[in-house]
Each structure stands twice: as C-alpha cells, then as structure tokens.
Structure 1
Amino acid sequence: MTQKTFGKKLIEALTIDELIQLLDGLLSSMDKAHIRQMLSNLNNENIKEITSQLLLSDKVTKVVSDNKFLQKWQELWKSWDKYVSELGDEEGEYACQDNHWKAPYFDDTNFTENLENIAEKMLPFLDRISQMQYKETDLFKEALQEVESGIMDYPEWMGAEYSGCYFSEYVTECVVKWAWLNADSVETFLNDLIEIEDSFNIINLDEQGYINCFNELSEKVEKEIYDYITKNKNIPAWKERLHDKYCIWHQLYHNFSSRFDHTSYLETCRNMFHKNWEYGISLIEDCLDNDKLVEAEELSRQTINSFLGREAKKPWNPETSLLISELKSFYNSPNRSIIELMKTWMDITDKINMPSKVNALKLQIVTYENTYEWDKVVSVIEKIDNSSVSGLIEEWKVFCTHSANYQSKNYWVKCLMDATLDKNKNSSWFFKKIKEWLTTLSDNPKELMSQKTNLFALTFDIAELSDLMKKYPSLFKAIYHPLKENPQNPSILKWLKKTDGAALAPLLKIFWKKHLLNFLPDPVNVDKANYNAHAKWLAALKEANPKEYQTILTQWKKKHHRRRNLWKAIQEAGI
C-alpha cells in the first residue's frame, strides 16, 4: 500500500481556509532565495512558473495556471449543460404553468437568461482557450444545436418549437468570436457563420452581439470581409441576406460600403430607401453636395412617404394634410431625424422658390414637434401666409380636439381654439358658445351622459381659475379629470385664462346644481356591494342642492334601508 504524502495528509486533515493560513505562514517566513531553492526541487514546471510569478515578481498581477484556467472553463460548461439538460421535460424547470387548469409552456425567457449569464462569464476565456490548442471548432454550434434538440423534445401540445428561442448579445458574441478565433481565413469565418445560422430552426441570435464582435476587428479585416461578400453577393445565401433590411448582414455590409465604396453605398440606398426611409437621407445629402436641388426636393418627398409607408400611387403632400394626422395612432413622440429631414426639405424648397410649400413645411414641423404646445404653433402661424395653409390650421385644431376627447368630439376645446385663433371671435363669443353647449346638455340627458368626461374636464379646468372647487369640494371627489395627464392640458389652461374662462364658473355652478342628480347612481345598480360612488355623489348633491338631497335621502331610507353597505358608505363619507 502506497504511503500517503505529507501534503495529502494535510489536505485530508485541514479545511481550505486552514491550508491557506498554513501556506501564508510558511511562505512569509522564507526569503526569495529559499523559495527559489524549494521550487527547484519540484518536478512540476507549471507550479514553478505560476509560483514564481506570484511570489518572486515585483509586479502585482493575477495569474492562473493553464490547468486551473481549463478547470474553470469546464465548470462553466457543466453549468451550461445542467440548464440544457432540463429541456424537454414537461415537468422540468422550464415548463411553466400559470394556472393549474392551463397547459404548461416552454419558458424560453428564463432559459435564455440563464445561458446568457454563463456566456457572459465565458467571453473572457475564449482567447486563451483557443490558444491552448482547444480544437473543438464547432463547440458553440454543437452546443446550440443541442439546445434546439432539447426544445424539440417537449411534447407537441406544449408548442415549444413555435415559441422560438431568442438569445441576447453574450451567447451571440461567444458564437461569432469562437468562429473567428478558429477560422484560418475570412472566407472560412464567414462560411462557418452562415452554416451555423442555417443550421438553426428555432434559435435566433442577437444583432448587437454581431456588432460587438465586428467592432473588435481591424479595419483591414473589415475590408477583407466587405470584399468577400461583394464578390459573393449574388450567391443565394448572401443575396437573401443582403436584400433583407432587417438582416444583420445587410446592416453590416451597408456600414462597410459607406466606408469602403461610397458609390456602392449610394446604389444600395437608392435601391432600398423605399423599404428603409433612413437610406433616403444619404441620397438627399449627396444631391445637395452636387447642387442637384430639384432631385433633392423630390427625394425628400419620397423619403417622407417611405417613412409613412405610403404607396407611390397615394403619396403624402405636405400642403394638403398634416403629418401627425397621417401617423394617427402610431404617433407617440417626434422623431428627431424626421424633424431634421423636413427642415432640410424646407430649405430646399425655399432655394428653388416654392413659397407655398415652404409655409406648409414650417407648419408641418411645428405641429409635428410641438403638437400640443399651442402657443408655439400659433407663433409660426402668425409669421406665415395663412391663405395657403388654412386647411392645415383647421386640421391641427381638429386633431387637438380629438386628442382632448374621451367619449365624443370635445366641442368646448374646439371653441376655445377658435376663440383665440380667429380674429373675428373673442371671449364673449366663447362664453356664448359654452352657454349654448351647456343648454344643449341640459335639454338632452342622453347627450349629457355621452359628453360627461368633456364636462368633467371643463369643470376641473375652470376650477383652476375660480373658487369652484372651494365652493363644491365634494363634487371634485366624485368626478375625475380626464385631461389631467393629457400633454395639451397646460395649453388649454393657458388659453382659458386668455379668454377669461373664470367667467364660466357661475354658469357651471348653476348647471351642476340643476343636473348633479343626473349623475347620482341608483343603489340598485352596484358592483360587489361597493357603494363608494353612491356616497360621493350624494355628498356632492348635498353641497350643490340641499333640498334635492333631502328628497333623495328620504326616498333611499324607505326603499333601500336594508342595504347596510350603502349606509355604511354614506356614514364614512361624513354625510
């Protein structure tokens, strides 16, 4: 039987922390000469090299032996394999079931996040691992093919093969960088990546992962890549990729061509700007550089239409309709590139003497960039010839009116805009129109209900300018402000001040006193015995019309005396 060495005995007897303490104590008592002497007696070059770098070098450095490095690398793959081994099991970690009566489904999000975390740790290993003659050239390709196989192993009724598996940048970077480190030429590198992509049916890689890897390559290598793709761009595999505006290869190649072959770059822009409107900008810039103003003006029109997704047969004309109306529900916030494009277009039309289009584009820019900042729009309107854009101005007012409406057209906001913009109308006209509107609501209960949110909004806004809320505080607990978060509410308030909106307060007081009863819900109509709304409206009625309140209270006591939750809610409301 082989006798155990002293080192083996120590490992069995002490913990890791205790071994560390022992080694620190022993080595701290030895000078460098003694350490060198000790290392020379060892028959292990790896130990000699690593220990010498750690103990004898004056430089502070983090050193890991090849064996230790390889051990950590293999531990990462063990973690990877552990996650992958869970695939295909309908009761496993990645079979997610929201409710017991629903069928489980493949939780691709958690799975890909787990592999992404491992891939992030793998990335710093790749260079050194490849230098250690680690010859598994298809390492990541085979690993991801195993992932696909595992997903396909789920029962068909789970539909895992239809959900897809979208990896983010770290897994993608590992795939691309490993292909580069193991390729003997640009041709091999590119063909390997194409082969990897074509081998996947479910897996999708990340654009940013490609970009990160290609950004690390030298300009010389990038030129070689560009030249190779150019030479082979008519081969089906490349042709398909280069003609797809969403494909990462199209984006990379287009970026390379902008640096290495400007003529080819412009040709691609011309061929594809109807699919990608941003390509039109480069064509316009090229025309301007060559003083081709008429062509630049036409390209500006076509580029905006590409942005809108309009067909060539039905082009958008800035003189006949607003850009914001064309965007409709897709308009959330202005695109800075579109603003700059319209400014460029406006400058071009000014140089080639198209005054009506210049005016139209000025209005288009301000209504697109500051749709709900009414004063900014008006400042432009006051500086241009209104006769050529009167239809656009009216369209802007209608657009704002619809944006300030929840149930039906917001009549009073339109009147407010007309009173401020039309020189023939004023505060008195606005007051008259609102009085007519309130009379219409008063005479038509059905219309009153359809316009209630617009009425609520007006009530809240006038309260900002008067004592309405102080007079009827309970009313403002019963109603809500539908325009509170609306981006044009500051403009509405500002223009109400301009038109002496506070003068409407007495009208609204009379209206609410007369019609508050119309909004009081019947206790018969209640959801889950929640009478909070009933109590709030009753409190508001008590403030506005005490006599009507007493009548309703008497009726409810007779008819609804058994509704304990109703009377509890009324009591809690402090009535």
Structure 2
Amino acid sequence: MFYIEVMRQFATPEVYLNNLRSTIIQQWSNGLPVIEDLLARQEYRECVVVIQETLDSLLQHKRENQDWTAETSLLFLLMGGYYHGNVNQENAKKLLRYYQQAVRELGESERVNALEIQCITFEYCYDWSKMLAAFVETPVTENTRQALLESWRNSIIKRATPHSYSNFYTREQPVSIWWLHWLLDSITSEKIGHAWFGQQALAWLANLPGDSEKLGREYGVLRLLTKDLTDIKFLLKYPYPKFYEVVIAPSLTSTPDDVSRRQYLQEYAPSDLWERVMDYWKANLHKFVPKPEMSQNSDYSTNAAWMSALKELSPENYQMLLSEWKVNHQRRRNLWKAMGNLGLM
C-alpha cells in the first residue's frame, strides 16, 4: 500500500509499526514486521496477541476456520494444501516459526510441539512416511496427535476421492467409506495392521454390484484402485492397454501424494488383489459399455472405444454383446462405421 510505504520511509519505527498493525485485518502479512519487533523486544505475550490477530486475518475467508488453534487442525491445509514456495506459504511458515518462538519463551511446550507438526506439514504434507513419523515422534498429547492426524487423513482422502461418475445410466450413490480409509486406518492403528486392510478390500470387492446402475460413486474408487495396482505391478507396461486407456485412465487426475499412496498400497495389499480386481472387470465390463441408443448426434466413437477395451479384456463377453448389437442396432450405420474404424466386428 502506498500509505504504508510512505510511513515506512518517513515515520519513526514506532509510528510505522503501530500503523502497520492497524492494517493487519486488510493484509495479514503486515503482522510479520510487528511480530518480529515484539520478539526482538522480548514482549512475548503481546507477540502472541498480534500473532492471533494475524491468523484471524489470514483465515477470515476460510469456512473451516472455527477459532483455529495449532492443536486442532493443520494450517497448511486450511490455506489450500499446495506448497510451491510461493510468498503466502513462505510467510505462513515464518508466522508459525515466530509463534513457536514466542510460546517456547512462555513455556507452552504442548503448543511448541504442535507447531512443529504444523511446520513439518508445510514441507512434507504429501510424503506419508514423513508425516506419519512426525505424528509418532513429536511429543504432544494424544488428543492433539489424533486431532492433527485426523485433519491430515481427511485431507488425503478428500483430495484422492475421484469425481463422481455420471454416465448415461448411472445413479449417484454416495460412498462415505472406501479402500483409502481402510489403508490409512491399517497404517495408523497398531491394533489393525496389514491383514485387516486386505480383508476389508477383498470383502468390499466380493460384494461390489456388477450392475453399473447400482455401483454409483464406487465406480470412481474402483477405477482408482485399478489404476494404482496396475501402475504398481506393471510400471507403464500394461497387459490390457486399451482397457487402461479407455476405462481406467480418463478423468483420474494425479494428486501430490500418488507416490506415497502407491508405496503403502503395495505394502499392505494382498498379493492377489490386482487379479481379484481384474476378475471383477472381466466379469462385468460388458455392463458398463455405453449403450448406442444413448449416444448423441450419431457419434459412436466412445461406444466403439469401449468395445475395443471389452474385446481385449473379455473376448467372450465382447462376442455376446456384439451379437446383441447386430440384432438391436443393425440400422445404425455410423455405429458400424466407428466399429470398423477400430478394426472391430
């Protein structure tokens, strides 16, 4: 701000800092020089007051901000959860370090340690091993540990949850608990362990509807599991490249913790989980192929692409569905042209 710059150049330091403090509500980072001055003068209690004013300004537009404290949720995630060294994130880290310095001088060891986890999150939020080590090794109370762990866990799940699947014939069925919940619970609970994740995943898979209309949003988490397991097992040399390209890969955006998630999935998944997942697809993929009668503007390229994936994955079901189409859709010239373009028939 022009006014602040003029004050910085021509006013006394005391007047400048007093005026700067009055603008914290408009620009939260204006609190940093004020905090630095209070730390230098060892006015730690007043420093904490200004830090709180600065945090209130920083979080004033965040709906999740319910009287934020270092012991209850992770600031990095409230700020959006992306860290690429931008100015706001660097200033937020600086603010946390100042906060840590002030409360250390005031003897508030629990908050000092909670702020240490907060700072680690800015550096390693999407490195699961480093974050889990921070939760285990940083000496905080169990309530603080669980609150911050839950904040991190929820953000991981929210970011990884695929967008809902809205094909022509699929109803939206919300999915509140899925395999990533079980994986994180297995990792973070000593009472559960490796075997429990496998039991949950295999039971879920065994009871998964083969009817595409009933699958709903579980379709997205199944595709994510298929993609992760395939990437782990085959390292880009996919055994069913058409199936992967047409059915699995579209609309599954990457997340910053893809590498960590797959490392832990590889460790905790049963050795035959990929085969079990593929058995589901082989048995049911023909029910997911888009129906020609639902296509618009006589464009059947998507239908043909799915048929090419089906032929690759389950030739018998492909022949069955193709026979049905030849009877029910024999007059759709553009459909058969699209099929011919992909060498199908």
Q: TM-score range by the shorter chain?
A: 0.7 to 0.9
The residue type equivalent to 1:465 in the other structure is I
Distance 1:485 1:550 in 2: 34
Distance 1:423 1:483 in 2: 32
Distance 1:255 1:331 in 2: 33
The residue type equivalent to 2:111 in the other structure is K
1:135-179 CA distance string (max 9 Å, x none): xxxxxxxxxxxxxxxxxxxxxxxxxxxxxxxxxxxxxxxxxxxxx
Aligned-residue Cα RMSD (Å) equals: 2.6
The residue type equivalent to 1:474 in the other structure is K
| Residues 568 and 254 of structure 1, relative CA distance in 2, 3 Å threshold | farther
Distance 2:295 2:205 in 1: 29
1:80-111 CA distance string (max 9 Å, x none): xxxxxxxxxxxxxxxxxxxxxxxxxxxxxxxx
Per the TM alignment, residue 325 of structure 1 is displaced from its structure 2 partner at its CA by 4.6
Matches within 5 A, 1:305-384: 305-309=56-60, 315-327=67-79, 330-333=80-83, 335-384=89-138
Distance 1:467 1:280 in 2: 51
Structure 2: runs of 5 or more not aligned = 165-174
Deviates more, 1:282-291 or 1:356-365: 356-365
Name the counterpart of 2:168: none
Name the counterpart of 1:477: 245
Distance 1:353 1:548 in 2: 70
Q: Report if aligned partners of 1:318, 1:357 keep a CA contact under 8 Å in 2.
A: yes
* Residue identity (%): 26
The residue type equivalent to 2:51 in the other structure is S
2:259 matched to 1:507? no
Q: Report if aligned partners of 1:318, 1:361 keep a CA contact under 8 Å in 2.
A: yes
**In structure 2, the residue corresponding to 1:382 is in which secondary structure?**
helix
| Residues 254 and 489 of structure 1, relative CA distance in 2, 3 Å threshold | farther
Q: Report if aligned partners of 1:483, 1:489 keep a CA contact under 8 Å in 2.
A: no
Indicate the structure (1 or 2) with the bigger Cα radius of gyration. Answer: 1
Deviates more, 1:447-456 or 1:505-514: 447-456
Q: Report if aligned partners of 1:522, 1:534 keep a CA contact under 8 Å in 2.
A: yes
Distance 1:443 1:552 in 2: 16
Number of equivalent positions: 323
2:179 matched to 1:412? yes
1:191-227 CA distance string (max 9 Å, x none): xxxxxxxxxxxxxxxxxxxxxxxxxxxxxxxxxxxxx
Distance 1:515 1:288 in 2: 65
2:257 matched to 1:488? yes
Q: Report if aligned partners of 1:419, 1:426 keep a CA contact under 8 Å in 2.
A: yes
Name the counterpart of 1:523: 292
**In structure 2, the residue corresponding to 1:431 is in which secondary structure?**
helix
Per the TM alignment, residue 442 of structure 1 is displaced from its structure 2 partner at its CA by 2.1
**In structure 2, the residue corresponding to 1:344 is in which secondary structure?**
helix
The residue type equivalent to 2:83 in the other structure is S
| Residues 501 and 296 of structure 1, relative CA distance in 2, 3 Å threshold | farther
Q: Report if aligned partners of 2:210, 2:284 keep a CA contact under 8 Å in 1.
A: no
**In structure 2, the residue corresponding to 1:278 is in which secondary structure?**
helix
2:199 matched to 1:432? yes
Q: Report if aligned partners of 1:441, 1:447 keep a CA contact under 8 Å in 2.
A: no
Per the TM alignment, residue 523 of structure 1 is displaced from its structure 2 partner at its CA by 0.6
Name the counterpart of 2:233: 466
Distance 1:455 1:537 in 2: 17
Distance 1:559 1:314 in 2: 58
Name the counterpart of 1:403: 159
Per the TM alignment, residue 458 of structure 1 is displaced from its structure 2 partner at its CA by 1.3
Distance 2:211 2:306 in 1: 21
Name the counterpart of 2:16: 265
Distance 1:530 1:502 in 2: 41
Q: TM-score, normalised by structure 1?
A: 0.52
The residue type equivalent to 1:394 in the other structure is E
Per the TM alignment, residue 452 of structure 1 is displaced from its structure 2 partner at its CA by 1.9
Q: Report if aligned partners of 1:535, 1:566 keep a CA contact under 8 Å in 2.
A: yes
Per the TM alignment, residue 431 of structure 1 is displaced from its structure 2 partner at its CA by 1.3
| Residues 486 and 568 of structure 1, relative CA distance in 2, 3 Å threshold | same
Q: Report if aligned partners of 1:404, 1:410 keep a CA contact under 8 Å in 2.
A: no
Distance 1:415 1:508 in 2: 17
The residue type equivalent to 1:551 in the other structure is M
Name the counterpart of 2:35: 284
| Residues 569 and 444 of structure 1, relative CA distance in 2, 3 Å threshold | closer
Per the TM alignment, residue 264 of structure 1 is displaced from its structure 2 partner at its CA by 0.8
Q: Report if aligned partners of 2:212, 2:288 keep a CA contact under 8 Å in 1.
A: no
Q: Report if aligned partners of 1:416, 1:430 keep a CA contact under 8 Å in 2.
A: yes
Matches within 5 A, 1:188-227: none
Name the counterpart of 2:219: 452
Per the TM alignment, residue 445 of structure 1 is displaced from its structure 2 partner at its CA by 4.1
Distance 2:263 2:241 in 1: 23
| Residues 272 and 299 of structure 1, relative CA distance in 2, 3 Å threshold | same
Distance 1:542 1:558 in 2: 18
Per the TM alignment, residue 396 of structure 1 is displaced from its structure 2 partner at its CA by 1.1
Q: Report if aligned partners of 1:418, 1:425 keep a CA contact under 8 Å in 2.
A: yes
Distance 1:326 1:447 in 2: 35
2:3 matched to 1:250? yes
Q: Report if aligned partners of 1:401, 1:409 keep a CA contact under 8 Å in 2.
A: no
1:561 to 330, 334, 342: 330
Per the TM alignment, residue 421 of structure 1 is displaced from its structure 2 partner at its CA by 2.1
| Residues 424 and 352 of structure 1, relative CA distance in 2, 3 Å threshold | same
Per the TM alignment, residue 538 of structure 1 is displaced from its structure 2 partner at its CA by 1.6
Q: Report if aligned partners of 2:72, 2:148 keep a CA contact under 8 Å in 1.
A: yes
Distance 2:336 2:105 in 1: 75
Name the counterpart of 2:342: 573
The residue type equivalent to 1:351 in the other structure is E
Distance 2:130 2:202 in 1: 29
Per the TM alignment, residue 324 of structure 1 is displaced from its structure 2 partner at its CA by 4.1
Name the counterpart of 1:548: 317
The residue type equivalent to 1:543 in the other structure is E
**In structure 1, the residue corresponding to 2:295 is in which secondary structure?**
coil
Name the counterpart of 1:538: 307
Per the TM alignment, residue 556 of structure 1 is displaced from its structure 2 partner at its CA by 0.5
Distance 1:376 1:283 in 2: 33
Per the TM alignment, residue 496 of structure 1 is displaced from its structure 2 partner at its CA by 1.6
Name the counterpart of 2:169: none
Per the TM alignment, residue 501 of structure 1 is displaced from its structure 2 partner at its CA by 6.1
Matches within 5 A, 1:116-135: none
Distance 1:275 1:477 in 2: 49
